[in-house]
Structure 1
């Protein structure tokens, strides 16, 4: 697909500089290497207030970083090293809305008293106003931080593990096991039949929101087989030819969305209510109305998600 790498989180230019992960980065910083860091709190990046909301970069000696978990992200085009620090141990006053933090549509913003500017904002809400480089940095930082949050102990022996390789590995001091960040492959399917596309919705989504069907790839399964299985399980629609279109890192918490295209052999829908709440065939004309906000009930997938990216390119006939 010609436009594959224009998907949100997919167009950054960061050099991950893996060769530096096992080196003494503290020594490099003491010797004057140029470096800055971005800051996260419970998955939310620190961004400037305003319409464009760029990531705020802090100097490596900023006092708010004391005791924060540090991860080396890589080297930017100008040669500057870039890190991410996580201060999720900070407990702000979240007021009356603690239950919406890190949810599908978290509107809350948090301000740290030690920072002169900036707010912590939900990445899913601001991802489309970030530059491609900022979006990629924020997504990488969120995915790695989330992995460390739930992998503090060795999966082999249960002992507490230590962060190594500048945040890209955990090492068990008891049994010597090495643990690496994991990404879960997910297929998300543009299933078409003639002039129509198959859309579904999950319970709990905003009213009227429909998206492409999606599901995790199971062990021992190809992407093509996963597409056919997931569509059949959720709707009983049979899928024939399947092809790959594009991918999107999706750090909520740790997925790689594999955008696939499939041609339906059947059109009758029988939903599995355990899997989804509803599924419908929508024509191109109806989808255009939905994107224009003029459809009777349909609201398309959120902007920035690969589902909307694929649907827009299907409408524009840009999938080749």
Structure 2
């Protein structure tokens, strides 16, 4: 894999306007309590949705008015630019949540300011982990959460459990002239995207790229270069974006992985990006995703060269 080079500033979701995680405060209960009077609290339900408030933005309750139990169970997310603390709360712990609209993370990314959407992504990911890791995987005893919600300690064997993040590669594969895209079963008609796959234990990112592209499409990757990443909390992935140079093999999609795979010309990609492809043109991933950014980057910058 070649060395990373400067790439355009990402414009996909869950990256811009991130909070200062202020990790040192996780061990300072008194300092976190002092933040409570002006704290923001993101409420997330079991389906990963957050309530919409006035002006179609994020509804956040007054943390100072939260019941003590709800406050003690809240996860500290970090500090905004004005020094206000942001916390994540399970909707089950918060009384008087709105009866109106609740929005999922994809909807929030398309509608809300970047700070709210990025913080919501962080809140959704950590609360999803908390809901599904209540007991120790080693002995089965209940977990007790410390470090402001970021560490689960087993009450039986004292094993430590940290939030789970699943690394996955997502790759814009080119033969120097064309871009390789695939289709998954169940996608809307004409929807195509770059290839992706999870990193397996004991595997490097380079090995994952080679294996996943070959398994899904039968195309042989020659080399790859890292260009960017995106948290993708659906529920807990980190997408590691690459561009790759491959042999001009005829794609042979794996039926267990893809419905179809094929090479697209620069003209076809350009028509999809500017909306001139017509009713028969291909549809690309939505703008909130790194997959769309990788396609745009390839079309604008050209393929990885020898």
The corresponding residue for 2:49 is 44
User: In the alignment, what sits opposite 1:23?
Assistant: 28
Report the Cα distance in structure 2 between the residues aligned to 1:31 and 1:61, rounded to whole angstroms: 9
Q: Classify the secondary structure of the residue corresponding to 2:24.
A: helix
Aligned to 2:295: 311
Q: Tell me, in whole angstroms, the C-alpha distance in 2 between the residues paired with 1:209 and 1:64.
A: 46
Distance across 2 between alignment mates of 1:192 and 1:234:
15
| TM-score, reference length from structure 2 | 0.88
Cα displacement (A) at 1:238: 0.5
Quote the residue 2:141 is aligned against. Answer: 159
Cα distance change, pair 319–248 in 1 and its aligned pair in 2 (3 A): farther
Q: For 1:297 and 1:277, locate their aligned partners in 2 and report how far apart those are by CA, in whole Å.
A: 18
User: Larger helix proportion, structure 1 or 2?
Assistant: 2
Give 1:85's aligned residue.
89
1:198 partnered with 2:180 = yes
Residue pair 1:210, 1:298 contacting (<8 A) in 2 also: yes
C-alpha contact 2:182 2:195 (8 A) present in aligned 1: yes
Aligned counterpart for 1:274 among listed residues 256, 278, 281: 256
* Mean Cα deviation higher: 6-15 or 213-222: 6-15
* 2:130 counterpart SS class: helix
Alignment of 1:72-151 (within 5 A): 72-88=76-92, 114-115=97-98, 119-151=101-133
Extract unaligned runs of 5+ from structure 2.
1-5
Cα distance in 1, alignment partners of residues 145 and 122 from structure 2: 16
Aligned position for 2:57: 54
On the 8 A contact 1:2/1:318 being kept in 2, the answer is: no
Q: 1:270/1:37 Cα in 2 relative to 1: closer, same or farther (>3 Å)?
A: same
Q: 1:32 to 1:147 in 2, by over 3 A?
A: closer
Aligned with 2:193: secondary structure? coil
Contact 1:45 1:55 in 2 (8 A): yes
Q: Deviations over 1:215-235 (max 9, x none)?
A: 001112111111111000011
Q: 1:30 to 1:18 in 2, by over 3 A?
A: closer
Q: CA deviation at 1:188?
A: 0.3
**Distance in 2 between residues matched to 1:314 and 1:276, nearest whole Å:** 22
Please give the TM-score of this superposition, normalised by the length of structure 1.
0.84
RMSD: 2.5
**Which residue among 302, 308, 311 is the counterpart of 2:286?**
302
Instruction: Tell me the CA shift for residue 131 of structure 1.
Output: 2.4
Structure 1 residues 85, 319: CA separation in 2 closer, same or farther (over 3 Å shift)?
farther
Residues 65-103 of structure 1, C-alpha deviation per residue, up to 9 Å, x if partnerless? 97584111011110111111121589xxxxxxxxxxxxx
Q: Which region of structure 1 is more displaced relative to structure 2, 30-39 or 288-297?
A: 30-39
